[in-house]
Structure 1
Amino acid sequence: MLLEDESVPVHDGPTRHPLVVFGDHRFCAGERLDVRRMSGPHMHSQVELNYVLDGRITYWFDGRRLQISAGQLCLFWGMIPHQVVEVTEPTNFVCLYVPMSVLVNFNSMSSFRDAVFRGGLIEALNPRPPDRDVFLRWREELLSGDPELEQIVRDELVARIRRIARDGWQDLRERSSAIEISRNQDPDRLPRIEKMLRFIAEKALGEISAIDVGLAAGLHPNYAMSIFKKAVGLTINQAITRHRLDTAQSLLISSDLPVAAVAFEAGFGSLSRFYEAFEGRFSTTPAKYRSSFGVAAARPT
């Protein structure tokens, strides 16, 4: 498990946002409760949930300054560049990370899902009195390293997100008093990047190519590939593969599907390609990865 100050940079540069990895894209929790200013914007592939225990956080969020305060529960997609730029002292929060694939499967709650993938900072309008204690417990259990507890938290946390989608939410970007548009924001390029990321999130489990992703944003494929790599730090094909691996990872942990079925459910057309990509990222085989979580062997085909 990584501390937030120990995130692993995948890409960096003087004018780009580093892509970081938390907990190898699993359900996981930030180890720090105290909130600190960050040296620069970053991105990560998971959906991030923040429950603010006390104090106030000011985020730079994709060209805007947005504040969340004690008692607020918010979530956002980590692929939107974000940075903590100011905190009151003391400020503490619980920070949890959920694989992006969870929201992709919210087909019956498409408006909520789409708002997240369009770059919203989503606030739960009906926070519950037990949330403070529940989020602290989820954090402790995710950090415990106990696979059974992790599975319980997975189920409870997904249910909590579904309740946010059902019970009421708002996008804080739409509150004029909370928004300050950056003069350096590119008004044309960022929506195109968001369209491509959203298309990948929705279609990566099928047969798509980098050309399809570019066309979905109304761009010439070569230009699409160029601006995507500059903004995200990955090629379009790498982003597609990453999403498929996120899905395969979730299926290995949460189901007893045979490895071959996992590969094809996750969008890999070739079993050998799946093994190559999986071992390249996780440095182990899918079967060994599954067994490391204490998951029973898959049923025979």
Structure 2
Amino acid sequence: MQEWLNRIIFDYSSPLTRQGNEHKFGFRIHSPDVMPHSHWHGHIEINFLFNCSAEYLINGRKIYVPEGRMILFWASIPHQLTASFGDGYMVNIYIPLQAFQQWKFPSEFIGGLLRGEVLVADNAHPSDVELTQLWDKDLALKNDALTAQVVSEIRGRIRRMSVESYQSFGAGDKAGLKAGQKEQKNPVAGLSHIDSMLRYIADHYDQKITISDVATVTGLHPNYAMKLFHRVMKISIKQYINRLRLLHAQALLVDTEHGVLNIAIEAGFGSISRFYDIFQQELQMTPQQYRNKTQKILA
């Protein structure tokens, strides 16, 4: 298991910063911090507000979130906590987009997030307090099996939200502009193209696909599509495809007895040598070493 982020470190020298570490999960419990600037990063972000409420500015739109509610958004959209009310605390959870896409939530739910919508649960579940505290304790133990369980439970909690009622705030529209305020360049512009590319990659990463294939679904020139993807995702299309393939391969190594060659092919890698190169580059171990380590943990 990779080490989790404790927090997204702000760079206050810039009013709009992308923080990196988008491939890592993150978890933090803290008092709400009013942020002097917007920031953005590539995760799907969850916030819980316990015994407090907060006001956010997300792409120029003010959003008020009552206490106890779960809020979910794609953090590639510039966001800022501008005010908090009460003496409670909040929980931040950061989920790598690649992992989130493999969790197979309802298409309307995922599509809304990738179009820049902010989702706020209508229901406040008292059990969320105990659940998030349990996650905090489990993660502090740095036990791989418990960490995997936390990830599974986070996935389940999001799934519950996706099938219950929630409000959707279109952070990409102009409703957040005040009267007389000039419209600035929309940081969410192009997210519909990113959504199309991400969906195509999620459906075809285990096949032989090219950058031109990915760009075709947007109607954009491949060079422009590559630049747009990298600007928003801070990773190339090729790297993103390889990371999805790697996640698929990791799951097969743990959940099946398939041979490494078959796993490489099933996950979409063109050759066994390419699979080994990427696996060792990202995880600093061979596929068999990863399988042995994981099986030992789960034994």
| TM-score higher than 0.5 | yes
Could you say what the CA RMSD is over the residues aligned between the two structures, in angstroms?
3.6
How far is the alpha carbon of 1:40 from its aligned partner?
A: 4.6
What is the SS of the residue equivalent to 1:219? coil
How far is the alpha carbon of 1:49 from its aligned partner?
A: 1.9
**Distance (whole Å) between structure 1 residues aligned to residue 193 and residue 204 of structure 2:** 16
Equivalent residue for 2:80?
84
Q: CA deviation digits over 1:26-79, x for unaligned, max 9?
A: xx44244233327552222x432221124344444345443434211022334x
Quick check: 1:152 aligned with 2:149?
A: yes
Quick check: 1:220 aligned with 2:221?
A: yes
Contact 2:9 2:19 in 1 (8 A): no
AA in 2 matched with 1:280: Q
Distance 1:81 1:187, change over 3 A: closer
Equivalent residue for 1:18?
18
Distance 1:21 1:169, change over 3 A: same
Equivalent residue for 2:94?
97
Query: What pairs with 1:225-240 in structure 2 (closer than 5 Å)?
Result: 225-240=226-241
Quick check: 1:73 aligned with 2:78?
A: no
Bigger radius of gyration: 2
Contact 1:61 1:81 in 2 (8 A): yes
Quick check: 1:204 aligned with 2:202?
A: no
**Distance (whole Å) between structure 2 residues aligned to residue 189 and residue 88 of structure 1:** 31
How far is the alpha carbon of 1:244 from its aligned partner?
A: 2.3
Could you state the TM-score of these two structures normalised by the residue count of structure 2? 0.78
Contact 2:115 2:172 in 1 (8 A): no
**Distance (whole Å) between structure 1 residues aligned to residue 203 and residue 265 of structure 2:** 16
Q: CA deviation digits over 1:66-121, x for unaligned, max 9?
A: 3434211022334x233334232656212223454554355572222322333322
**Distance (whole Å) between structure 2 residues aligned to residue 3 and residue 296 of structure 1:** 24
How far is the alpha carbon of 1:145 from its aligned partner?
A: 0.9
AA in 1 matched with 2:237: I
Distance 1:216 1:62, change over 3 A: farther
Quick check: 1:41 aligned with 2:39?
A: yes
How far is the alpha carbon of 1:277 from its aligned partner?
A: 1.4
Quick check: 1:141 aligned with 2:142?
A: no
**Distance (whole Å) between structure 1 residues aligned to residue 159 and residue 244 of structure 2:** 21
How far is the alpha carbon of 1:217 from its aligned partner?
A: 0.9
Contact 1:142 1:149 in 2 (8 A): yes
Could you state the TM-score of these two structures normalised by the residue count of structure 1? 0.78
Q: CA deviation digits over 1:106-161, x for unaligned, max 9?
A: 55722223223333222222232211111221222123212232233233332222
**Distance (whole Å) between structure 2 residues aligned to residue 29 and residue 139 of structure 1:** 11
The unaligned stretches of length 5 or more in structure 1 are none
Quick check: 1:4 aligned with 2:7?
A: yes
What is the SS of the residue equivalent to 2:48? strand
Contact 1:173 1:179 in 2 (8 A): no
What is the SS of the residue equivalent to 1:88? strand
Distance 1:17 1:245, change over 3 A: farther
2:170 to 164, 170, 173: 173
Q: CA deviation digits over 1:143-188, x for unaligned, max 9?
A: 3212232233233332222221222223222799984496221675
Contact 2:47 2:90 in 1 (8 A): yes
Equivalent residue for 1:183?
184
How far is the alpha carbon of 1:253 from its aligned partner?
A: 4.9
**Distance (whole Å) between structure 2 residues aligned to residue 16 and residue 176 of structure 1:** 19
Distance 1:243 1:74, change over 3 A: same
The unaligned stretches of length 5 or more in structure 2 are none
Identity percentage of aligned residues: 27
